[in-house]
Structures are given as C-alpha cells and as structure tokens.
Amino acid sequence: MKVIRAGVLGFCMGVRRAVDLACAEAAHAAGSGKVFTLGPLIHNPRVLEELERQGVGFLENLPADLSGISVIIRAHGVSPITEQEIHSRGGRVVDATCPRVKAGQLKAGSLERAGYRLFLAGEAGHAEVLGIKGYAPGCFVVGNAGEARAAAAGLRVTEPDARTALIGQTTIRAEEYRSVADTIKEYFPRLEVVESICAATRDRQDSLRSLLDQVDAVVIAGGKESANTRRLFAIAEQREKPCVLAETAGDIPAAFAAFQTVGLCAGASTPDSVIDEIEA
C-alpha cells in the first residue's frame, strides 16, 4: 500500500500557540495544581492527555473562588462575560484564543454596535460560536442555508430596511458559507459578508480535495469532537471516497489494507506524533 500525505498537515498556528501557552503555564506552576483550562483547550484527546500529565487541569464550570488559579481560555475562545467572571472570582486569565477567532469576536461585536443585524454561520452549540455570540448577543446563529432562509425571511418582515452582515465560524466549509450568504442575499441584497474563514482551514480543505484525486481511499486523522476535522471528513464523503475519521491507528478498518493508495489528511489540532503513528 502507498500512503500519500496531504500537502497541509499538523497543528495550525492557533492550536500551536494555545498548546505552547498551556505548556509554559504548566512549567511555570511546577506542579502546583493551579493551572486549568476552561473546557478542552483543543479538540484532540491525545494532546489533552499530555497536558494533564504536565499538570494542566480541566474545569467544566467555574468554581466560586479562583484565587491563585490560572485559567487558560481555550483556542475556541469564550464570551466576554465568562472572562469577566474569571477575573471577578480572583482568577488569572491566560488567553489562548486563536488570534483569528479573536478577530472574529471583535468584528462581530463591532458590527452589532454599529447597528447591523448579524448572521453567524456555524454550529449552534460549538464553543467558538458561543464565544462569538457573547460579543454579539443579538446575532442569528444559522447552521445551514435552510436556517439562514428562515432567519432572513423573518427579519425581512420585521425589519425590511435592516443593515445586515454575515460572519462565520472559522472552520466552516467555504461552500457552506457561500450557500448561507447567497440565501440571505435573496432577502437582503446588500448583505456585508465578512471573510472570516481561517486561511489554514481553507488551505487544509483545498489540500484534501487535491489529494482525493490521487488516492483510492483516505484517512482523516483527528479528534472526533473537532469541527474542522469533521468537515474534512464531510468533504471526502461528498466525493463518495472511502474514508475514515481516525483518532488512533486502531480506528482504521482492516479493509483499508486492500487499497493500493491511501491518502492521509489531518485536522488542525492533530499532533505530528498521531499523524506519524497512523501512517505507520
């Protein structure tokens, strides 16, 4: 069997920055047990296990007293209210929000303050979307063109002259984003569309599309909770190419051994060690 790697693999800049910040905090705390992430730092179980070994704990919710505790904001970001809560409870904020996500948060807030009715394209329950919505509480979260149509049609009835804008989750597929934008424009032709898709996400998706033309099947390496990894898997599925989303080598079906060429792609939060293990 021949394995062909996608042209873009490994940590993206935002994930690398978040992991480096967490490791530095753990080293500085020297096993004090006072360094925690609020929610998973990134969506990769192997990386989270390694951070735990280094002394980084995990908080699902904020305790009442955070005195002396460093709370690392996950790469997906949080709402400004959550950040204020950490400060008010005595905690120290270590902001590991991806700079691209932070830019989206600030842009969303700026648009809403300027009077725009904002549409946010993404997964309603995803941490990044929840964080952005915290900066623009009045936005419409739309997961697909159908939801965008319903929201835009309703707004057209109540506010026909509204100024509108669209921003997206950084990991949304480009074709999904265009579909949402085109749908909203049927009701608000002057919709302002923010180019919010991360370049690393776009490059990774384009690299996979190119890879699919060269292989019989493809393995997508990454965490099953990772939005960008799941979207890579969806691209392969749409091409009707045999594919599997694998967190470890053990997730790859034995039947894949029958293919002559297998492509290997990976989500933005997949470490090199996992990619190498899966290829081997």
Q: Count the neighbouring beta carbons within 10 Å of the beta carbon of residue 147.
A: 17
Extract the tokens encoding 2: 């021949």
Q: Is the dihedral of CA 13, 19, 23, 29 positive or negative?
A: positive
Q: Identify whether 186 is a catalytic site residue.
A: no
| Set 50, 60, 85, 128: catalytic member | 128
- Separation of alpha carbons 152 and 21, rounded Å: 40
**By C-alpha distance, which of 180, 256, 263, 200 is closest to 17?**
200
Burial of 63: CB neighbours in 10 Å, binned 0-12, 13-18, 19+: exposed
For 37, phi and psi rounded to 5 degrees?
-100, 145
Q: Count the neighbouring beta carbons within 10 Å of the beta carbon of residue 94.
A: 18
Catalytic residues: 128
